[in-house]
Chain A
Amino acid sequence: MFVDFPNGPIMKAKVYVNLKSGVLDPQGKAIQHSVELLGFTGISDVRQGKYFEIALDPAVDNQQARESVEKMAREVLSNPIIEDYRVEIEA
Chain B
Amino acid sequence: MKFGVIVFPGSNCDHDAYHVISKHVGQPVDFIWHRETDLSTYDAVIIPGGFSYGDYLRAGALARFSPVMNSVKKFAESGRFVLGICNGFQILCEAGLLPGALIRNRDLHFICDHIYVRVETPDSPFTNEISAGSVLRIPIAHAEGNYVCDDQTLDELKRGDRIVFRYCDPNGAITEAANPNGSRDNIAGICNRERNVLGLMPHPERACEDLLGSSDGRDIFRSLAATLAAAV
Binding site for B on A (CB under 8 A): 19, 22-24, 26-27, 30, 76-77, 79, 81-82
Are A23 and B103 touching (Cβ within 8 A)?
yes
Across-interface contacts of B93 in A (CB, < 8 A) = 81
Binding site for A on B (CB under 8 A): 57-58, 61, 65, 93-94, 99-101, 103-108, 146, 148-150, 182
Pairs A–B under 8 Å by Cβ, sample size 6 = A23-B148, A77-B57, A79-B101, A81-B99, A81-B101, A82-B101
CB of B113, distance to nearest CB on chain A (Å): 18
Which residue of the partner chain A has the closest CB to B94? A79
Across-interface contacts of A77 in B (CB, < 8 A) = 57
> What is the count of residue pairs linking A and B with beta-carbon distances less than 8 angstroms?
38
CB contact between B108 and one of A19, A22, A23, A27 (< 8 Å): that residue: A27
Task: Compute how far the CA of A48 lies from the CA of B148 in the bound complex, rounded to whole angstroms.
Answer: 17
Across-interface contacts of A24 in B (CB, < 8 A) = 103, 106, 146, 148, 182
Having A81-B150, A82-B103, one finds 15 other A-B pairs with CB under 8 Å, namely A23-B103, A24-B103, A26-B108, A26-B146, A26-B182, A27-B104, A76-B57, A76-B65, A79-B58, A79-B61, A79-B94, A79-B101, A81-B99, A81-B101, A82-B148
Task: Compute how far the CA of A88 lies from the CA of B110 in the bound complex, rounded to whole angstroms.
Answer: 34
Task: Compute how far the CA of A77 lies from the CA of B58 in the bound complex, rounded to whole angstroms.
Answer: 9
Most chain B CB within 10 A, of A23, A30, A82, is at A82
CB contact between A81 and one of B57, B65, B100 (< 8 Å): that residue: B100
CB of B33, distance to nearest CB on chain A (Å): 22
Task: Compute how far the CA of A23 lies from the CA of B182 in the bound complex, rounded to whole angstroms.
Answer: 12
CB of B145, distance to nearest CB on chain A (Å): 12
CB of B91, distance to nearest CB on chain A (Å): 12
| Given A79-B94, A81-B101, A82-B148; A26-B107 close (CB under 8 Å) | yes
Are B149 and A26 touching (Cβ within 8 A)?
no
